[in-house]
Structure 1
Amino acid sequence: MSNGWSWYVIALVAVNIVGCVWLLWWTARRRPGDPKPTDTSHVWDDDITEYNKPLPKWWINLFYLTIIFSIGYIAWFGGLGGYKGYGKWSSTQEHDREKSVQDAKLDEAFASYKGKPIDEIARDPAAVSIGHSIFANTCSGCHGSSAKGAIGYPNLTDDVWHWSGTPDAILQTVMDGREGVMPPWGTVLTGMGGENAVDYVASYVQSLSDPKGLQNNFMAAQGKPMYEGLCVACHGADGKGNPTMGAPDLTDDYWLYGDSKAQIAATIRNGRHGVMPAHRELLGETRSRLVAAYVWSLSNGPSKVAAN
């Protein structure tokens, strides 16, 4: 906080404290000429009279003590702009202290899973259950409570993995995140093959998952040479993709952003930018292992897990 804002806050606090003291003093004292408490002239039903009786002294003094306490509180804990107070207390320090205590409890609770391989953890039903709970609290916002994902968010229950589905690769994804970038090729393709070039390439890409669809398909045939000149660098000549860079396999029936021709064309024309946030700092290594074990177990059923 800048010095200007600090002085602004200090002035507001000072005005409020002085104002409260003045208000108590002004309303508590009696002045010459003031009417008696019984002289309000407010009478109902002949015998019900409104009085103007000041607060008891002990009550007024309690208000003064409250003001004195507030001054001491501000002096110790801060509250005057950038002034931190004699106690040097801050909400950040309080949060970090509480977090360190809770993290220590979690580390103790999960100590038996520390450093264990993902596939070994996945054989422990209790560990998988814990991983499921962590997933529900941390990952379900994007991938859904059932982990089946949505448009733009991968389905974690099948055997399709853009960044490889090995245990170590899944752990790396959870801990360090991923960033998949599909560049926009609309302008480039238009320069290569005219205004219909994007649709031609989309037709060819769509045909990769259905080889018969390439037969007698004029648009796919027109798109093939442009694909081979531009897209093979990431997706390969056969369209199988490249897990080391997150380039998806175009020959299967899984489409992260939709499988219609219009959706595929939109991906080619405008590009995509998918980000999986890193959770190393949020979860730590051991809890990340538990989540990774749960995710890995989703596509490796009990029989596969037991075999592994």
Structure 2
Amino acid sequence: MTWAWTWYVVALVALNIAGCAWLLMSHSRRRAGDPKPDETGHVWDGDLTEYNKPLPRWWINLFYITIVFSVGYLLWYGVGHLRGFGHWSSRTEWAQEKATEDARLEDTLRPYAGKPIDALAKDPGAVAIGRTIFANTCAACHGSAGHGATGFPDLTDDIWHWGGTPERILETILDGRTAVMPAWGETLTAQGGASAVDDVVAYVQSLSRPGQPADAAAGRGQALFSTVCAACHGAQGKGNPMLGAPDLTDSYWLYGGGKAALHRTIAEGRSGSMPAWRPALGETRARLVGAYVWTLSPHRAPPAEAAAP
């Protein structure tokens, strides 16, 4: 809250308190010329009358006590930048409560500190905590069940573009990943003509369809692949986990394996980023969520007590 807003609120509160006090004082006393309490000039249906009786004194005093309490409350707690005599602030209270909860969380996480994620994956309690962290942190991109979406990897299979060892998974969670597929449209067209991108698409599709005879387009694409794409994906298209370059010989396509999707990937490039969660989660919580992710693989069944929903 700025100083301008602080003084605006102070003036508004003071005006309301003064107005309430004036209203009570001006209407709780009888004025000259007022009819007596047992006199009335209003009669309905012959016997229904209205008397001019003031509010009981105890009722009026309760209102005065409320006004005194409100003034004391403001003096003790303050308003905006004006600190009260109690030196209270919402920021200080939040910091104290956060410190208490952090200490409690630290006690909860201490038994899991420093343990490998594949070892934690055998602990139902650790996996349950990891599943909760995953739901709050990772599910927005990878889905509540870890199946991913276009541009977001499926965590329930055994395909890991950056490596699927416990150490590599933990590294991915802690420090994030940045993957860039350059746009090769102009380069390929300059080397192989207008059909160059389609030729490379044909060859790349043939890599994941073993046993099918390669056509002429795939043959031309193979030559272009070896000069442009092999540096990252390897001569056989097996990929490179150190670079995040995917294996092109399996049936999994992060951005789609159709001809149109692959044409766009090759011609226009792709850019993907996995945020670094070390600042937000810390290492122990990253290990716990890594343990849960580890259990999602079909080759690593999770404990029955912590099976994924």
TM above 0.5, one fold? yes
Q: How does 1:285-296 map to 2 (within 5 A)?
A: 285-296=283-294
Q: Are residues 1:209 and 2:205 paired?
A: no
Q: Which residue of 1 aligns with 2:98?
A: 99
**Alpha-carbon offset, residue 159 of structure 1:** 0.8
Q: Separation in 2 of the partners of 1:90 and 1:64?
A: 27
Q: For 2:274 and 2:91, how far apart are their aligned partners in 1?
A: 27
Unaligned runs of 5+ in 1: 304-308
RMSD (Å) for aligned C-alpha atoms: 3.3
Q: Deviations over 1:86-144 (max 9, x none)?
A: 43433333233222222222322332222112222222333333333333343333323
1:180 aligns with 2:179: yes
Letter in 1 for 2:114: G
Distance 2:2 2:156 in 1: 51
Give distance in 2, aligned partners of 1:99 and 1:214. 64
Partner residue in 2 for 1:266: 264
Q: CA deviation at 1:215?
A: 1.3
Deviates more, 1:87-96 or 1:253-262: 87-96
Q: 1:152–1:274: 8 Å Cα contact kept in structure 2?
A: yes
CA deviation digits over 1:29-76, x for unaligned, max 9?
Answer: 443344556767555443333455443333333233323323332333
TM-score (normalizing by structure 2) = 0.79
Name the aligned partner's letter for residue 138 of structure 2.
C
The secondary structure found in structure 2 opposite 1:130 is: helix
Which 10-residue stretch deviates more, 173-182 or 45-54? 45-54
Take 1:7 and 1:35, find their aligned partners in 2: how far apart are those partners? 44
Q: Deviations over 1:210-255 (max 9, x none)?
A: 255671152x455445544544443334333332232222221111
Partner of 1:236: 234
Counting aligned pairs with the same residue, the percent is 59
**Deviation larger for 94-103 or 269-278:** 269-278
Distance 1:217 1:65, change over 3 A: farther
Map of 1:19-30 to 2, 5 A cutoff?
19-30=19-30
State the partner residue of 1:132: 131
- Counterpart secondary structure, 2:62: helix
SS of the equivalent of 1:274 reads strand
- Checking the alignment, whether the CA contact within 8 Å between 2:6 and 2:79 is kept in structure 1 is no
| Alpha-carbon distance in structure 2 between the residues aligned to 1:207 and 1:194 | 21
Equivalent pair of 1:214/1:221 in contact (CA under 8 Å): no
Unaligned runs of 5+ in 2: 303-309
Cα distance in 1 for partners of 2:39, 2:185 equals 88
Aligned residue type for 1:119: D
**C-alpha distance in structure 2 between counterparts of 1:268 and 1:225, whole Å:** 15
